Each structure stands twice: as structure tokens, then as C-alpha cells.
Amino acid sequence: FLKQWHRSGDIRGGENRVYFEQDAEGLIWAIKMNELIYHQNNMADFADRLIKSSEYFPDTTLEIIGMVTTPRGIKPLLRQAFVVTNPQVLAFPAQIRTALEERGFRLLDPDNEIWLSPDRAYYFSDPGQNNVLVDEHGELAFIDVIFRTVTPEQFKQDYPKLAGLMFSLFIQPAAS
């Protein structure tokens, strides 16, 4: 990742253009311009995602530091502490699954990596090796996971093959 960034000055993921900056105290930050493509340009939906991500994964909080005008509209500019990793160490799916289950998340669809939050208010996807890093201390760091509010309409739209799960989610008691 960093080698590619050093060659080009920025890097593009599925939804973010990422830059790096070092502040006066020597801290390195990932600066991200989010394209809002996973939120159909809906800032309220995106802000809800940031709040939930920060609540569930406080070590990798994303903060909005501004807005940027682009040819595709106004986009949020975010800041996240840079996660120092060992590039030879990857987060394995079993590690990710264990870490999420220990935090109370429930796996809904192993094929698409769709998880339900402990309070059953949100589901999220994309906790794969690109978005779950192993930091310099061997701990998992969850970055850029995509949270959505659990509503039958949103769930059916996002995951039509799993729409039947919606009923079972609400008849089983939530984990306490």
C-alpha cells in the first residue's frame, strides 16, 4: 500500500482517495476523500456510518475535517490515525471472525461477510484483509467497514438473497 502511495502521491480504494500527512507532533494521518458511492451521495447515511464505526471500533475513528468540491459534487474529507502494520502479517478470516464474535457481532452471511451488530440496529460488510489490518502490536484494526441501519427495506435492497433472515433477526433474543 505504502509503496504504491510513494509512487503516486495518493492511492484510491473502493470509495476513498487516500493521502498521508504528518502533523507537527510527528503523527501520521490517513487523509481520505470519500466519494459517497456506497451511500448514494447521502451525507446523513454516511455520517451515521462514521458514528457507528467509531462506537464499535474506537481505535480507528474517522473524523470529518472538511468538505471538498469535486466535479462529482461536494465530498467529505476525513482523517484517521495511520495504522502502523507489518506488511508480512495479514489478518486471517478466522482471526477477524473471532474478534467480531468476541465483540458480540453475529455473522449473517459467510459468503459475503455480512455481520449484525450486537444491538441488532446495524449490519455491516467488508471486514476483509483490505479493511482489517494487523497493527504493530499484533492487534486487529478495523478500517473502512460499511455500516447500514437494519431496516427490512434496506436489507432487502442490499442483500436480496438474505431477505428471509430479517424475520429471524427479530424473533431471536439479542445478545446481552
pLDDT in tens, 35-63: 888 777 788 888 888 888 899 999 999 99
Average pLDDT over residues 91-120: 88
pLDDT of the residue at 76: 92
Q: 151 pairs with which residues across the strands?
A: none
pLDDT of the residue at 1: 53
- Is pLDDT larger for residue 155 or for residue 113? 113
pLDDT of the residue at 103: 93
Q: Kindly report, residue by residue over 69-101, the tens digit of the pLDDT.
A: 999 889 999 999 988 887 788 899 899 999 999
Q: What's the chain's average pLDDT?
A: 81
pTM: 0.76
Q: How far apart are CA 33 and CA 54, in angstroms?
A: 18
Tell me if residue 166 falls in helix, strand or coil: helix
Where residue 167 falls among pLDDT bands split at 50, 70, 90?
very low
Q: How far apart are CA 29 and CA 20, in angstroms?
A: 6
Place of cell 480507528: 60
Q: State residue 129 phi and psi, 5-degree precision.
A: -65, -20
The rounded Cα 146 to chain-centroid distance in angstroms is 4
